[in-house]
Structure 1
C-alpha cells in the first residue's frame, strides 16, 4: 500500500517540475519586450510624455 503513495508522490513531483519549467519558459521575457536597452537611453517600459515626443 505504501507503493501507491510513492508513485503518487513521484507523479506530483513530475507535474510540479513541468509546471515550474513552463512558468520559467513563459515568464522569462514578456511578449513585446525590447531585446535590449534603447539607443536613446530611455526605459522601454516607460511611456514618454507628450512634451518628450514634441506634441
Structure 2
C-alpha cells in the first residue's frame, strides 16, 4: 500500500512551496549564470558530474 502524500505539499498557493520554488529557481539561475561566466558547461552537465562522480 502506497503512502499518501498530502495534497498541500504540492499546493502552489501555500507559502512554504512558494518560498521553496523561489529558492530553487534563484539557485538554478545563479548556477547557470556562474557556469556561463566560468566555463561553457551547462548547469545540468555540472549537476550530472556532481551526482555521478562520487
Which TM-score band applies after superposition, normalised by the shorter structure?
0.3 to 0.5
Q: Which is greater in Rg?
A: 1
**Which structure has the highest helix share of the two?**
2
